[in-house]
Structure 1
Amino acid sequence: MQTKDLKKFFHPKSIAIIGASKDFTSISGKPLKNLIRTNFTGEIYPVNPRYDEIEGLKCYSSILEIQQKVDLALIAVSASRLTSILRDCIEKNVRHIMLFSSGFAEIGESGKKIQDEVAKIALENNINIIGPNCVGCLNVKDSIPMGFATSLESKNGYKSGNIGLVSQSGALGFSVFGLAQEENLGFTYVVNTGNEMDVTTLDTVEFLLEDADTTVIAAYMEGISNGEQLIQVAKRAKELRKPLIILKSGKSAIGKEAALSHTASLAGSEETFQVITKQYGITTVKDIDEMIDAMRIFSRGKWAEGKKIATVSNSGAAGIAMADFSEEFGLVLEPLQGETKAKIEAIIPSYGSSLNPIDITAQALKEQHILTDTVEALVKDDNTNVIVIQTTFGGELGEEICRKIVEIDQRVEKPIIVTVTGTEELTGENREILRRNGVPVYKTTHDTMLAVKHLVDLSMYHHDGSNVRNHPILAGPLVGEEEKNRIWTEEKVKSVLEQLNLRVPKNVILQSEKDVDQCIGKLKFPLVAKIISDDILHKTEAGGVKLGIQTIDEAKKAYQEIAQSTRKYNPSANIRGVLLEEMLDKKGVEMFIGIKNDPAFGSFIVCGLGGVFIEVLKDISIRHVPIDRTEALSMVEELKGFPILLGTRGEQRSDIEAFVEALVKVSDFVYDQNQTLEEMDINPVVVLNEGEGLVALDGLIIWEKVETEILVSS
């Protein structure tokens, strides 16, 4: 993965502050104040023609006056002056610039014009820029603050650790940093990318991934400018086994565009983002509290070997709550068995519960070993992957228990997560003992179990593998560019499906009523006749479909009626013929397969119950292309309608394997088209009984966007 060279943004040996001020309360004064206060060991060069010196440091009228090498320029001047200053930086051979200035794209067209000009100059001269409209960055490891964010002014210094944080929003990013520091979470770097004229959030994530000290990465994003880069970043995170947490705001308007097909109306841009994050192992969170909670559990560096949770509490109600949230979040609470169950029954009072949740009762107030001995038993239980403890004990007893939990946690690999409820006065020191020693601790059951869900989900993603393929084998002939002419109606789509070894009804194309006599001998009654026209996709509404044709005369009559109806429906339509094909004589379950090309991420494959049920039920499953058999099967299994395929009320099991194979073949075909296929619908796909395969009855491919809203129906 090719990454931008960002090292000197965070490890500069010399910093020029252009626009530096003696007023240390101002935006242009705080960066200098912060560097002086934290005893920056490199060289600092204030630049401002109004001053001879600032705080004993020589002040230069221009960066060109500085004789020494400058690694990083912090610029705090108005947008209107930036172009000339940038040219001075280029002449001085400064390759890394951080822009605090506002007044760019965020104010409208005039600011965007300046931003575009600066970006062009920077690109032409190989300059890396963070910002504009940036509040700064922080190298926490070496205590180098470069900016004016309030959190940089902490009198207690900065706690270093293993978390890297990047945010498009400076206020939000440094707020998260400040709150997390209060919870004893340590960081390597905190970066605000601002307007992202050049360096983006994802560029910074790439840098953080390759930093050996950064093992957890969190990002706040307001949009995805490069979907492929996000996917590659996620794949690299998996290779390095580094959790990637994303909080994304904003709902794109892309999903509101007119839809050419059922698939387009079902797969909006926000939904496709969620599909990407799930498929490629990115942890998404809804707010900054959840982001900090996820940081806390991931920063401990322990992974779950499975999703089986054992919970321990001194409150029956707390146990019930943990069980409820476990079910909601897809975690597994299995009853304890065998030796473990016997051990715990011998530890807890007889009126407690050795089931899971485990209720140790309030007797643990008198005998603290009850809780810790129970935890020791669970540590040795091979059927327990994560241990969750909830306690309300305060005072010396609570502190003693928490110290014992720390001791256990530090000698075992199994994740131990703790909920300590109660006021700061009574139980605050308990939480602090756990925080200081890296044990994930939360105040509420919900927050605890949600964090456990994030840990288990990512652990299972790494453990099982995502089955994502980078280069599928070609599924069929690549369609030539000259053939990708706007819309393919079903006769051309079916030709592609046949090349993919997917079954379609036997058919012929009639150019006139006279063709019926010549062609009908190739088919078996009953038949269906359908109009073929790029301009009439809603065939039934146009009178372009006739079913149950049993004779030659009925076929001729059907041709006449279709021709008359469709000409009346759309006199200017380009009618390319009538498709005459055999009607399916077997029962099956109607499904559909669809493709939607998302501007940010490329092609997605969608499946669900077909026919008229698509728009009514919206029971769909979506994945990013390409997929393999395992991913395709998971798509089918997560449908609410999956039991129908298994066979209900005496019906036979459907040929699920044939449908899974079809999903993979269509996915590979689409992947081969290099994102030139805009939309595709195969609907309905009739999945026959097990061993009998499937039959695709209708289809549509769109090679370019068409603004008119049209729906496919036969």
Structure 2
Amino acid sequence: MSKREAIERLLNPESIAIVGVSQDFTSISGKPMKNLIRHQFKGQIYPINPKYEEIAGFTCYPSLLDIPGEVDVALIAVSSKRMMQILSECEQKNVRSVILFGSGFAEIGEEGERLQEEVLEKAKKAGITILGPNCIGLLNVKKSIPLGFSTSFETKEGFLSGNVGFASQSGALGFSLFGLAQEENIGFSHVINTGNQIDLHTLDCIAYMLEDGDTDVVAGYLEGIPDGEMLIRLAKRAKTLKKPLIVLKAGRSEIGRKAAMSHTASLTGSDETFQAIAKQYGLVTANDVDDMIDLMKVFSRGKQSNGNRVVTISNSGAAGIAMADYSEPLGLELVRLPNETQAKVEEIIPSYGSALNPIDITAQALKEQHIFTDTLEVLINEDEVDVIVIQTTFGGELGQKICKKVAEIDKTTAKPIIVTITGTAEITGEGRTILEKANVPVYTTSYKTMFAIKHLSNFSRFSRGQEPDQFEDGGVQIEENIDATGIWTEVRVKKELDSLGIKIPRGTLIKDRAHLQEVKTNVHYPVVCKGISKDVLHKTDAGSVKANIKDAAELEEAYESIVSSLHVYNPDADVEGILAEEMLQDESVEMFIGVKEDPQFGPLIVCGLGGIFVEVLKDISIRRAPITDKEAFAMLKELKGYPLLEGVRGGTTRDIQALTDALVRISQFASTHQERIQEMDINPLWVFEDGKGIAALDGIIVWKQNEETVAKAKPLI
């Protein structure tokens, strides 16, 4: 059975066995049966516990093997120590889908981890698919099938079905979020908690939901990313289907990462890396539960925006100012209305109002409620406006009338209309409910509104975008059969860069004193001398760099000084020689390009300001390799230091195209040698005046070999 088929069965069972069920419906082992009865499950329920003969009118069986009919899904609520026995019974009974509620597995340490591995091995041999352990269960919202013990299942009002699918590694947080979202009239198709996810994991559930016809928005809470490549494939699939994929990733801080380990035994990666992957592949990221609900709300509506041009209508000048303050940092444009449209608005609003954006219709709308809706109808026909925001504090009967009219107008246009209603639930709640039931996104603060619009605009732009251009090597071929071992020092790295079409300074590696005498009169002075050794990577720290050497005499002196310094710094250093390299004089901007192999996502390419600024400012941009020319340029544009390349305040424009080409070629090199390359660092990389190219002044590559080799390498950033 495929994972998709297993999830389908878990969500749509016709017969359910509850192993370890209790007559106490307030207990964890009693709640699953109580919830199925409460929501009138139409299939067969088989309680299993040798202590009882019947529970709530249902025959209770001593074991799975005593059940007369077939069992689609087994809910297992017994201790972890009995798990192997229960799995054997599942195998004999031909039960192929199980949910393990119990804890006591990998989250408790080595002993639990061993048991978890044994359970998984047993299940695989028996052809059994497992959800959990250490999970609360799942909910098919459309069919009202709750399989688990979440408090959210105990609602007396039933579940609001809709088009949002949600997979959560955490049960408590996941179903709490579900309950809060339901209160805001957000409907769901499915909610699945994966817990320790020893078999089915969050990405499997997300993959199912993306293909589900009842699901238009997919969300996931992840403490760890079980498969980086799969996440990228799902992001690409989401783009093809035009379904937003919203992710709340936990474990962003060091403390958070440790907490995630103790919680569900998950390994979490660098948040910086995750955010870069999200941006590159169009994942919608949330920072907390409130963000997730706000995003579910705006995306479940199904409308997209044609851009980031926003207009806001408000009966409060201060509220309009708040919108304006939030728009710029969130990348939104409060668009200037065309004169003709502005004139139409001026005919509707009081003379003491403002038809400029943000539009202030004043409190006169208390008497003339049509002012709000008439202004809205003008704006929905304005092509220069992508999203319309209505801000109001009106409550009571007036607020309800305005909300009803807004809901009616919203149905007539594909343009997103977002409403902000500030005020207490007592005063404004009924109007807010009218909008929510009409599926019009409504928020309580200006920031929440603009945050949602930012992500709607970004996703709409990304989903409209064409597939990235294919990599074009420009005639440069990447050699695959290279000696990818150990540490490549500067000389070997520069040879590779030269083959990639990246300029390097002219230089000579002086191997010994005899060689020095041969070459000292042929060197192009002035030069810089550097000691080359895989055992001494921090040249400056070792005193093995001498600059501005003007003649042969100074070269001999520099040679002796560097050799001496290297032996003092590391007596056992294996010295390849002393590199005498032309000292470039042209004015430049120092950049760096790096590569890092991420355990989850593969080769990442990084760029930023170089030299000492790498570690001080950490102004960097990251992408997964390989990248296209457009993606490389976008990386540069993201840098705070990008104006230095453009020529800030009349400064010299740098050769941005040459730098972009270098990023593309190095990313292709990293991709070609993925799983072999550990780290690559080109720093500094000088960028000269536009048309004069770039030059790599230093570099290192660390190949995957052993821990000892990798430990010698300096960190990329």
Q: TM-score, normalised by structure 1?
A: 0.95
Shift of 1:251: 3.3
CA contact 1:506–1:523 (8 Å) conserved in 2:
no
Question: Is 2:362 aligned against 1:358?
Answer: no
Please tell me the residue identity of whatever aligns with 1:635.
Answer: M
Please tell me the residue identity of whatever aligns with 2:147.
Answer: M
CA distance in 2, matches of 1:712, 1:225: 25
Deviations 1:554-595 (A, max 9, x none): 323322221122112111001111212211132211111111
Shift of 1:69: 2.0
CA distance in 1, matches of 2:256, 2:143: 44
CA contact 1:516–1:552 (8 Å) conserved in 2:
no
Residues 280/595 of structure 1: CA separation in 2 closer, same or farther (3 Å cut): same
Please tell me the residue identity of whatever aligns with 2:675.
Answer: Q
Please tell me the residue identity of whatever aligns with 2:678.
Answer: E
Instruction: Map 1:538-617 onto structure 2 (within 5 A).
Output: 538-617=538-617
Residue 341 (structure 2) aligns with: 340
Residues 211/663 of structure 1: CA separation in 2 closer, same or farther (3 Å cut): same
Q: Which moved more, 1:386-395 or 1:644-653?
A: 644-653
Residue 264 (structure 1) aligns with: none
Structure 2 gaps of 5+ residues are 259-268
Shift of 1:470: 9.1
Instruction: Map 1:416-495 onto structure 2 (within 5 A).
Output: 416-465=417-466, 467=468, 476-480=477-481, 483-495=483-495
Residue 64 (structure 2) aligns with: 63
Shift of 1:57: 2.1
Shift of 1:414: 0.2
CA contact 1:279–1:466 (8 Å) conserved in 2:
no
Q: Which moved more, 1:580-589 or 1:198-207?
A: 580-589
CA distance in 1, matches of 2:556, 2:471: 50
Question: Is 2:19 aligned against 1:46?
Answer: no
Deviations 1:20-60 (A, max 9, x none): 22222221111112112222121221121222222232222
Question: Is 2:396 aligned against 1:399?
Answer: no
CA distance in 2, matches of 1:663, 1:233: 26
Shift of 1:708: 4.3
Residues 176/468 of structure 1: CA separation in 2 closer, same or farther (3 Å cut): farther
Please tell me the residue identity of whatever aligns with 1:654.
Answer: R
CA contact 1:243–1:282 (8 Å) conserved in 2:
yes
Q: Secondary structure at the match of 2:627?
A: coil
CA distance in 1, matches of 2:516, 2:104: 71
Residue 237 (structure 2) aligns with: 236
Residues 215/341 of structure 1: CA separation in 2 closer, same or farther (3 Å cut): same
Residue 644 (structure 1) aligns with: 644
Residue 193 (structure 1) aligns with: 194
Shift of 1:411: 1.2
CA distance in 2, matches of 1:608, 1:522: 36
CA contact 1:329–1:450 (8 Å) conserved in 2:
yes
Residue 108 (structure 1) aligns with: 109
CA distance in 1, matches of 2:339, 2:26: 66
Instruction: Map 1:212-227 onto structure 2 (within 5 A).
Output: 212-227=213-228
Please tell me the residue identity of whatever aligns with 2:192.
Answer: V
Shift of 1:660: 0.7
Shift of 1:291: 0.9
Q: Which moved more, 1:72-81 or 1:521-530?
A: 521-530
CA distance in 2, matches of 1:459, 1:122: 42
Residue 516 (structure 1) aligns with: 516
Question: How many equivalent pairs are there?
Answer: 703
CA distance in 1, matches of 2:509, 2:132: 60
Residue 260 (structure 1) aligns with: none
Q: Secondary structure at the match of 2:328?
A: helix
Q: Give RMSD over aligned pairs.
A: 2.3
Q: Secondary structure at the match of 1:129?
A: strand
Shift of 1:475: 5.7
CA contact 2:702–2:713 (8 Å) conserved in 1:
no
CA contact 2:679–2:702 (8 Å) conserved in 1:
yes
Instruction: Map 1:645-684 onto structure 2 (within 5 A).
Output: 645-684=645-684
Shift of 1:256: 11
Residue 95 (structure 1) aligns with: 96
Residue 311 (structure 2) aligns with: 310
Residue 263 (structure 1) aligns with: none
CA distance in 2, matches of 1:627, 1:2: 32
Q: TM-score, normalised by structure 2?
A: 0.94
Please tell me the residue identity of whatever aligns with 1:667.
Answer: S
Which fold has the larger relative contact order, with Cα–Cα distance below 8 Å and residues 6 or more apart in sequence? Answer: 1
Residues 466/255 of structure 1: CA separation in 2 closer, same or farther (3 Å cut): farther
Please tell me the residue identity of whatever aligns with 1:518.
Answer: E
Q: Which moved more, 1:599-608 or 1:169-178?
A: 599-608
Shift of 1:530: 1.2
CA contact 2:603–2:674 (8 Å) conserved in 1:
no
Residues 549/712 of structure 1: CA separation in 2 closer, same or farther (3 Å cut): farther
CA distance in 1, matches of 2:681, 2:219: 37
Deviations 1:73-99 (A, max 9, x none): 111111111101101111222111101
Residue 155 (structure 1) aligns with: 156
Structure 1 gaps of 5+ residues are 258-267
